[in-house]
A = this chain, B = another copy of it.
Amino acid sequence: MAELTGDELVRVLATLASPHRMRVLAALSTGRHYVSALARDLGISRALLQVHLKKLERAGLVSAELELSEDGKAMKYYQVNAFALQLTPQSVAAAAKTLTNDAADGPDRGAQQNGDS
């Protein structure tokens, strides 16, 4: 994941630019955790955490696996995906040239139609 398109970069940065998500990432950087435990740990509701995890996942920053605990419960374990982004005026300028969205600005909804499963 060396070169990201402008749109992807926007998504990653927007995803990272959030205290909650930063904390989630920090928590996960110490190892995998399952949703409920993580929510308790961070002191936020599960619903809220889910949303943030989903965004982090969509940005490709974390990934998850659904596993069955020994006592039969379904647990979803999340973990951070390694990444390294170098941000400089040049890298940003380069990414800007690949932006597709030429009008909207906000957190872009993005993406052109993609089935995105």
Residues of A within 8 A of B (CB): 6, 9-11, 13-14, 16-23, 25-26, 29-30, 52, 80, 82-90, 92-97, 99, 101-102, 104-108
Q: A23-B99, A92-B22, A99-B22 are in contact. Are A17 and B87 (CB under 8 A)?
A: no
Which 10 interchain pairs have the tightest Cβ spacing? A13-B17, A26-B96, A14-B17, A26-B93, A22-B96, A85-B87, A20-B105, A29-B93, A80-B89, A29-B89
Q: How far is the CB of A31 from chain B (nearest CB, A)?
A: 12
Closest to A30 in B: B93
> Do B83 and A84 have beta carbons less than 8 Å apart?
no
* Contacting residues, chain B, for A25 (C-beta < 8 A): 89, 92-93, 96
